[in-house]
Amino acid sequence: MGRSKVRQVIERVVHDGKVTATADGSEHEIFPVAASVAEGKALHDWVVRERASRTIEIGLGYGVSTLFICDGLLHAGHDAPRHIAIDPFQSRRFSNVGLQLLDEAGVSQMVEHIAEESQFVLPRLCSSGKTFDLAFVDGNHRFDRVFVDLFYLGRLLRPGGVVFMDDYQLPGVARSASFFVSNVGWRVEEVSGDDDLHQWAVLRTSTEADTRPFTYFVDF
Summarised one tens digit per residue, pLDDT across range 138-159 is 999 999 999 999 999 999 999 9
Question: CA 41 → CA 70, 80, 100, 200, distances in Å?
Answer: 12, 22, 21, 12
> How many residues appear in the chain?
220
Question: CA 166 → CA 123, 132, 162, 177, distances in Å?
Answer: 22, 18, 13, 11
Q: What is the pTM of this model?
A: 0.95
Task: Note the pLDDT of residue 94.
Answer: 98
107 phi, psi to nearest 5 deg: -115, 10
Say which CATH architecture domain 3-204 belongs to: 3-Layer(aba) Sandwich (3.40)
Task: Note the pLDDT of residue 2.
Answer: 78
Q: Answer yes or no: are the C-beta atoms of 171 and 153 closer than 8 Å.
A: no
Residues of the chain with pLDDT under 50: none
Task: Note the pLDDT of residue 1.
Answer: 65
83-110 pLDDT per residue, tens? 999 999 999 999 999 999 999 999 999 9
